[in-house]
Amino acid sequence: MNRLLRTVLALAAAITLAVGLSGCGANASGSNAPLRVMADVRPHAELIKKAQELGLLGDVKVEVQEISGSVDPNQLVQAGDIDANFFQHVPYLNDWNASHNANLVQVGKPVHVEPLGLYSKKVASVAATPQGAKIAIPADPTNQGRALFLLADAGLITLNVKADDPNLNYAQVTKKNITGNPKNLSFIEIERPQLAASLDDPQVTLSIINGNYAIEAGLNPSTDAKAIEKSENNPYANVLVTRQELKDDPRVQKLAEALTSDKIQQYIRDTYKGSVVPYTGSVVPAKG
C-alpha cells in the first residue's frame, strides 16, 4: 500500500469516527429531538400548546400526545416510550411509584389545581342531603382519600386524620378513617372518568368529580359544585413528571418553567374561571 493511499484511508477513518462520536453526543443529550409529552386533553394539553403559541419554549419542540382510553401515561414514561407526562398530582405519583417499584419524578413547581367538587342533580345544597344518601366517590386510592376530605370539609362526615398532616400518606386514607357519619351515608366507588355520568344514576344523590372531568362534562366547578376544594396549599396540585435520567434535560426544564410562568398562570385564570386555578401556597405535597 503506497503512502498516499494510507493517508487517504487514515483521513477517512478519522472523519467517520468524528461523525460517529458527534452523533452519539446528540443522542445522549436529546437536545435536538422533540420532547414527547403525554397529557390530558383539558387543561393539560391546552396549557402546553398555549406555552408553544406564546413562544415560551424557545427552540424546544414538544410533541403532545393526548391521553385516551385506558392507557397508563406513567407506564409509558417509565418504559421510555414517551419522555414526560402532565396529568397527575404528587400523591397519585407517589402511590404509583410505590406500587410499581418505580422512581418517576416531579419536575419544577406545581402548576395548577383542578378543584375536586361535590355535584348533584337531586339536591340543591349539601344541607339538603337526605338520610341514607348514596355518594359516588373515585375508586383510585389517592383521589378517594381526597374525596373523603372534601366530604369532611362539607360537614357530612368526620375523619380521624388531618389533610394538613405532613406525614400523612394520602393513598392510605379510606372509608375506614370515617369516625362520624350522622346521615348514614353510603358510598359507591367509580372510576374517575365515569363519575360525571353517575349524576344521572337514580340511586346516586351526589357525586365527587375531578375538575378536568367536570369540565369535559360541561360542569363549572366554581358555580355548579355544592362544595369545592380549597385551592391554596392544596396538596393535589398537578405537576410535570419524567424519568430520573431526564429530570435535568434542558427541554424538560424549559417546559416546566413555561408552565409555571406568569403568562400561563394568567391564562389559567382568564380561561377556566375557577374550574382550574394556579397553584399557590407553601405546602409541599406529602409523599405517598
Q: How high is the pLDDT of residue 31?
A: 61
Q: What is the mean pLDDT of residues 174-178?
A: 95
Q: Which domains does the chain have, with CATH numbers?
A: 32-114+235-278 (3.40.190.10), 117-228 (3.40.190.10)
Q: How high is the pLDDT of residue 29?
A: 42
The confidence band for 280, taking pLDDT boundaries of 50, 70 and 90, is confident
Over the stretch 18-44, which tens digit does the pLDDT of each residue have? 334 333 333 334 567 999 999 999 899
3-state secondary structure the chain: CCHHHHHHHHHHHHHHHHHHHHHHHHHHHCCCCCEEEEECHHHHHHHHHHHHHCCCCCCCCEEEEECCCCCCHHHHHHHCCCCEEEEEEHHHHHHHHHHHCCCCEEEEEEEEECCCEEECCCCCCHHHCCCCCEEEEECCHHHHHHHHHHHHHCCCCEECCCCCCCCCCHHHCCHHHEEECCCCCEEEEECHHHCCHHHHCCCCCEEEECHHHHHHCCCCHHHHCCEECCCCCCCCCEEEEECHHHCCCHHHHHHHHHHCCHHHHHHHHHHHCCCCEECCCCCCCCCC
Residue that wins the pLDDT comparison between 205 and 170: 205
Q: What is the mean pLDDT of residues 131-152?
A: 94
Over the stretch 96-121, which tens digit does the pLDDT of each residue have? 999 999 999 999 999 999 889 999 99
